[in-house]
Amino acid sequence: IQNEESVILFLVVWTVTEITRYSFYTFNLLNHLPYFIKWARYNFFIVLYPAGVAGELLTIYAALPYVKKTGMFSLRLPNKYNVSFDYYYFLIIVMFSYIP
C-alpha cells in the first residue's frame, strides 16, 4: 500500500499543514507574525482538509483487499478471549465515519 499515490497525497498534505501550523506558532511566539503566515494558517485548510481526507480514504480503500486476504489484525473464534473482531469491516466503518 505504501506505493499508492494516495499515500503521497496525504503525506504532502499533512506536511504542508504542519509546516504552516508550526510556522504560525513560532512567529507568534516571536511577536512577529507575517500576514502571509496568518493567512495561510486560516485558509490553507480549505484545500488541504478535503485533499487529506481523500488521500486517507483512498489509502484505506487500497488496503481493503490485502486486509481481507490476510486477515490482518483480525481475531477469529474460537479463541481464549471468546470474542471476534474483523479489521476489514472495522476499516469500512471507519471510512463511513468520515461522512459526519
Domain regions of the chain by residue span: 5-98
- Tell me the C-alpha to C-alpha distance, in Å, between residue 72 and each of 7, 66, 89, 94, 97: 19, 8, 11, 16, 21
Which residue(s) pair with 75 in the sheet?
A: 85
- pTM exceeding the 0.75 threshold for the entire prediction: yes
CA 70/CA 86 separation, integer angstroms: 11
The DSSP secondary-structure symbol of 78 reads S
pLDDT bracket for residue 1 (50, 70, 90) = confident
- Residue written as cell 472495522? 90
pLDDT digits 0-9 by tens, 57-76: 999 999 999 999 999 999 99
pLDDT score recorded for residue 13: 97
Task: Supply the residues annotated as catalytic.
Answer: 49, 56
